[in-house]
Each structure stands twice: as structure tokens, then as C-alpha cells.
Amino acid sequence: MGERHEDETDRIFELQGEVQQLKEAVASHAVVDQAIGMVVALGRVTPDQGWQVLKEVSQHTNIKLRNVADLILIWGRTGDMPAEIRAELEDALDRHGPTQVPGTLPE
């Protein structure tokens, strides 16, 4: 009986770990979706283009996509964005969309 109880306890811990991973994935997905929404609205691009923009910024800065999304959301709340991210975001939007990021000076 003791061994069966340990097996059930192990399974409970395993399931709790899986639930936590799923919660984190859902939260991450929501952050990325919100960042795509900001890129779509501000960059006047389609959602697919917004996704490409995020991927390119992530690849060119070597920053995880979730972290790029976080930085874009922080920018939306505070107006602050690291110069490297802003430059890459502008470059990606130039490739995919018609406008620059609002609040930047023309070159």
C-alpha cells in the first residue's frame, strides 16, 4: 500500500508541475499577443506582419521573443524603450509596414 501511495504522490507533483508550465505558457502567449497588438496598431501592419516584426527584433537583438514582447508592453505604459530595441523595431517595421514608430525623429 505504501508504494502505491508514493506513486500517487509522485503523479500529483508531476501534474502540478505540468499545470504550472501551462499557466506560464498561457501568460507568455498573452504577453506576446498584446505586443503584437501594439505593433499592429502603431506600425500599421497586419497581425502576421506584427508577429514577423517581433520575431525579427528577437533574432537581431538575441533577446528572447517573450522578453522583447515585455519590453514593448513596458514601452506602451512608460514610453521607455532601449535604443537597440527601438532601432531594430523601426528597421523591422520599415521592412513590413508603411510608417516609423511614433515619437521618433525623422533621419
Quick one: pLDDT at residue 25?
A: 83
Q: Which residues contact 45 (CB under 8 A, 6 or more apart)?
A: 39, 53, 93, 96, 97
Q: How many residues does the chain have?
A: 107
CB-based contacts of 60, cutoff 8 Å, min separation 6: 88, 91, 92
Write the DSSP string, 5-39. Answer: HHHHHHHHHHHHHHHHHHHHHHHHHHHHHHHHHHH
CB 72 within 8 A of CB 38: yes
Predicted confidence (pLDDT) at residue 107 exceeds the cutoff of 60: no
Please report the pLDDT score of residue 39 as a whole number. Answer: 94
- The set of residues, in sequence order, having a beta carbon less than 8 Å from that of 84 and lying 6+ positions away, is 61
Residue with grid cell 508592453, as numbered in its chain: 73
Residue 28 in grid coordinates: 507568455
Per residue in 89-104, pLDDT (tens digit) is 999 999 987 755 555 5
Dump pLDDT digits (tens) for 27-44. Answer: 888 999 999 999 999 888
pLDDT at 103: 57
In tens, the pLDDT along 34-73 reads 999 999 998 889 999 999 999 999 999 999 999 999 999 9
